[in-house]
Amino acid sequence: MADGHVAGITREQARAEAYSLPIEKLDPAQPALFQADAMWPIFERLRAEDPVHYTEEHEFGPYWSITKYNDIMAIDTDHNRFSSDFMKGGITIAGGQQNMDPLPMFIAMDPPKHDIQRKAVSPAVAPHALNEMAPQIRERAGKILDGLPIGEEFDWVDLVSKELTAMTLATLFDAPQEDRRKITYWSDVVTAAPMPGAIVETFEQKMEIFREYHAYFTELWNQKVNAPPSFDLISLLAHSPATRDMEPREYFGNVVLLTVGGNDTTRNTISGSIYALNKNPDQYAKLRANPDLISSMVSETIRWQTPLAHMRRTAVEDVEFRGKSIKAGDKVVMWYVSGNRDDEVIENPNAYIIDRERPRQHISFGFGIHRCVGNRLAELQLQIIWEEILKRFPEVILVDEPKRVYSSFVKGYETLPVIIPRRN
């Protein structure tokens, strides 16, 4: 696959278009741009010229783009005026526009209900729970890496990134490990746009898969609600006074949230770390020379990759923001992927620097009440997998450009071809 050329768009073409179009015509929410990794010039221009930008024509309707770090933080922490409520459209640009009823889930709720439901599941990813999970994650990471084909090309996404996150997700749900790939498959289906050749080709096919997904987790709930309480996500929901009587649709919505949230961030950052280090060999050499840099490398990769490109809010009242008049009911999209490249906040933001002075200064997990509940688990998995990689391999070499996800929400990789050289 040629660098920067996917779905008929090249990075050079995208840059030329980004700076030749009238600014009011700029539309960053184009999945083809993200699949080609060609959206950067649009965000660059918007940050410089129109950081609170209105796109009038889009397949999911008009929307505002918030592209600078501090503006995103201001919107993300103002849940009184900017709602996440699923009934108002939820957290994605497509929310409320697709051919299915919106699913209730706590990330797509406002207080007080959001706070109550989030609190119900948080013990599963609390520090003591992570301490207990860490040895198991390390053992699994070691087995995955020891099973890789040395000296042969393989897909890192499939054999490593998906596998480790699938194992962890199954553990979080206390589901059988043999079902782990079903769970990550369902996660991919949730965020996939039906189209020919995609993971789902029609809306009807997507709904059929959703019924299977729903039935599986309904059975898991039935098992847990009739068993003694434990600290997995399903048992916590089934036994918490705040959630044990929730409607089945609300339960399933939270399952969808926890599946996607536990899958995409970690999986795509594991893949992104391989890609970033290969594209920045000086940083890879620095990491091999000093494994103590793994922790800051993990944070820098989460910033640089930004595995979820955006989150959406809906204005609940008229708001004057940075000189723009946002009306009640308007769709407001916070582009985390752009905020993480804001040079007014992050020095040299387009560079990948694993020993930055403040590597945790990024917006990938969001801010405020909706900050990613599993962020520490994501960091833990990345920390462990890289500790185990550096113990075993001189390097993991990128063979060709990855195939990226066709989405302006999930910023990730479908495939990442690599080879681990044999030791001399």
Quick: pLDDT tens for 276-285.
999 999 999 9
Residues facing 400 on adjacent strands: none
pLDDT of residue 369: 67
Structure tokens at 393: 């391999």
**What percentage of the chain reaches a pLDDT higher than 70?**
92
**CB-based contact 337:309 (threshold 8 Å):** yes
Mean pLDDT, rounded, for 319-333: 95
CA distances from 115 to 107, 169, 314, 370 (A): 9, 23, 19, 9
| Overall fold of domain 5-419 | Cytochrome p450 (1.10.630)
Residue 243 has pLDDT above 80, yes or no: yes
Long-range contacts of 139-142, Cβ-Cβ distance < 8 Å, separation of 24 or more:
140/164, 140/167, 140/168, 141/381, 141/384, 141/385, 141/388, 142/388
The residue ranges of every structural domain in the chain are 5-419
Q: What is the DSSP secondary-structure string of 142-205?
A: HHHHHTSPTTSEEEHIIIIIHHHHHHHHHHHHT--GGGHHHHHHHHHHHHPPP-TTSS--SHHH
**CB-based contact 301:389 (threshold 8 Å):** no
pLDDT of residue 64: 96
pLDDT of residue 96: 55
Mean pLDDT, rounded, for 176-183: 92
Mean pLDDT, rounded, for 33-59: 93
Mean pLDDT, rounded, for 346-352: 96
Mean pLDDT, rounded, for 59-69: 92
CA distances from 316 to 95, 126, 390, 394 (A): 16, 33, 49, 54
More confident site: 183 or 119: 183
**CB-based contact 38:27 (threshold 8 Å):** no
Structure tokens at 386: 């890289």
* 155-164, 188-197, 233-242, 384-393: least confidently modelled range: 188-197
Q: Which position has the token pair 């059988």?
A: 176
Residue 112 has pLDDT above 90, yes or no: no
pLDDT of residue 6: 38
Residue 423 has pLDDT above 90, yes or no: no
Residue 101 has pLDDT above 70, yes or no: no
pLDDT of residue 424: 64
Report the distance separating Cα 12 and Cα 14, nearest Å. Answer: 5
C-alpha dihedral, 303 to 171 to 84 to 375, nearest 10°: -30
Ramachandran angles phi, psi of 64, nearest 5°: -95, 140
pTM attached to this predicted model: 0.90
**Per-residue pLDDT band at 4 (split at 50, 70, 90):** very low
Average pLDDT, the chain: 87
